[in-house]
Each structure stands twice: as structure tokens, then as C-alpha cells.
Amino acid sequence: MDFDGVRTFIAVADTGQFQEAASRLSLTQQAVSKRIAALEASLGARLFVRTPRGVQLTIDGQVFLPHARSLLEAAERAADSVRPGRRRLRVDVVRPNLGSARILRDFHSAHPEIEIDVVTHLFDAKTALAAVRAGTIDATFRAITRPAQQLTDGVVATRVLDDAVELLTSPTHRLAAATSLTPAELAKHKVWMPFIVPGTEWAAYYDELAARFGLTIDTLGPDFGIDALLEVIAGSSSLATLVGEHIRLVWPAEYNLRRIPIRNPMLVYPHSLVWRSDNAHPALTKLRAYLDARKDRYRHPKAWSPPWTGR
């Protein structure tokens, strides 16, 4: 159905005059007449009769009017669902407890008027970047491990968060009393990380980290999730794992786990914001500006990160 014709029909019904409807729609009276005639022809029904004072709805016109209004309202809702500035900003944060989710929460606190759909079901960078290209999400927070291959077809990225790596241990672990550790000190102890999945961006990061500093990272699983991991770490004097500084972890008080920063050098996991360069969503522009303005808070430019990460 021709929405312009329906819109014109409603304007004529509301004003009772073709000339007033034409003025409201910024059309000529002839254009209004043609639209109404075309709509009546498509419906096979007469919608108006002329009167000395203008036009009046026929019985068919009266029946059609509420449906016409509903039709236009539905069309507007459909357009708003995809129109930049009207629909929600869709952002992938990988998982809701990661540092990327934390800084998105910071952004929302600063801009509560912006509606956001937080996406957490996209497994790896390949899937997330495909969603960015397809337009099913507006942006994603990811480690970009192969920029020459991944940042193509108008997809761009900027590094926005350096998540400092920490060692997580039980209170009985031999490193538990340390206030900080160097990578050289860490290299003397095995690190358990059953959640590393080959082929993912975090696997590429930890492979590079282990090779650079001689770390022994045990990825034997199975991975039963973060709660099971914390329980095992809490009950062991030999197992420890690596986590990001900004990751939100909650455990029972009796676990009494330790989070030990790594320094000299600081090790960081690099999160980049990735989006399409032609994405005109105004909230995305605000998010980029917000992150750029907080470089001093979110970035550690002197810390170690793999050579494939942009500075």
C-alpha cells in the first residue's frame, strides 16, 4: 500500500479540505487529489464525497480511517527501529563481567539518556566483526590480532582500554603474599587457564604473552565456567590464573582470594572499539568521543602488549 496516499488520506480527513491538506503536506491541491484518487482505486472504494464546505468521509472512509492511522503508526515504529538516533545503540562487550562492559556502564552513567542494547552472545572476534559489517551491531570491543585482514570493508578500530593483567591466587598459594610480581617471577610458576579456546583473540594474546616472557600456561580443562574456576583456585595452593584488572569477580568470603598486579613491565590486554566508518548513529559518535576523552584513565601506553596491537 502507498504510505504517501494513506498519509494524504488522513490529512484530508482531519482538515476536511483538499487545499488545507495540501498546505499541511507541502503539496499542490492537484497532487492531493491524485493521491486520493489512486488510493481509492487501489482499495476499490470511495473514501470522500464533496460538500459545499469541502469533503466528507463516506461510510467506507470512516471504516478505513482508524486502520489508516494504525498503519502509519506501525510504519513509523518500523522506521524508528532502524533509524540512527531513534533506535538503541547495539554494542558487543563479549561478556557482561569484562572490562569492556564496565566502561560501557561508565558511558551509560554519563549519558543515561542514551538507550543501549548490550550484546554478549557473539563468541569470538570473527563473529563480532561479521556482525559489525552486516550492521546487526553498531560496535564491538575486541582485541584485533590481525588488523590487515580484520579491518577491511570500511571496518575501523581504535584502542580504548588496556586491561592490566593480574594473578589470581588462593591465600595459601606460594605467591599469595606478594604485593606485585614481575613477569620473570611469574615465569617460575604454572598458570592455569582452562577457558582459553584455540583460534580466539584471547588465545592469540596469551600465546604471545607466554612466548615473550617464558610463561607456562596450562589450558587443560574442561571449562566449567568462572564460578567453578574460582572454587578450584580457592582450594589449591599450587593453581593460579590470570585475570584482567577490570573484570568483575564475585566469590564467597571464605575463598579470600588474592589479586596480585604484574609490573616491570605491566602487562595489558588491549581492547579496541570496532565499528563501521559509515555508521552515522549519533550515540556511537558520543561513545567514541567519551572513550577518547578518557585515554588517561583507560590506557597504559607504556605497558607491554603484543606487537600486533595498535597503540
Does 311 fall in a domain?
no
Q: Which of 59, 81, 103 is the last residue of a domain?
A: 81
The reply to whether 152 and 170 lie within a common domain is no
Cell numbers given for 250: 564475585
Q: Strand runs (DSSP E) across 137-211, as ranges?
A: 139-142, 155-169, 190-192
The tally of domains found in the chain comes to 3
The reply to whether 168 and 257 lie within a common domain is yes
Give the mean pLDDT of 185-193. Answer: 94
Q: Which of 62, 81, 100 is the last residue of a domain?
A: 81
Does 309 fall in a domain?
no
- From the DSSP assignment, how many helices (H) and strands (E) are in the chain? 12, 11
Does 140 fall in a domain?
yes
Cell numbers given for 303: 605497558
Question: Does pLDDT of 278 surpass 70?
Answer: yes
The reply to whether 194 and 252 lie within a common domain is yes
The reply to whether 143 and 290 lie within a common domain is yes
* Domain interval for residue 191: 163-261
| H or E, element range at 217 | strand 216-218
For the chain, how far is it from start to end, CA to CA, in angstroms? 53
The reply to whether 171 and 221 lie within a common domain is yes
pLDDT, tens digit (0-9, with 9 covering 90-100), for 83-119:
656 688 999 999 999 999 999 999 999 999 999 999 9
Give the model's confidence band at 301: pLDDT under 50 very low, under 70 low, under 90 confident, else very high: confident
d(CA 274, CA 125): 10
pLDDT, tens digit (0-9, with 9 covering 90-100), for 68-90:
999 888 887 777 666 656 688 99
The reply to whether 177 and 238 lie within a common domain is yes
Does 310 fall in a domain?
no
Reported residue count of the chain is 311
Does 54 fall in a domain?
yes
d(CA 224, CA 234): 15
Cell numbers given for 222: 574442561
Average pLDDT, the chain: 92
- In this prediction the pTM is 0.73
Does 48 fall in a domain?
yes
The reply to whether 173 and 147 lie within a common domain is no
The reply to whether 256 and 171 lie within a common domain is yes
Does 134 fall in a domain?
yes
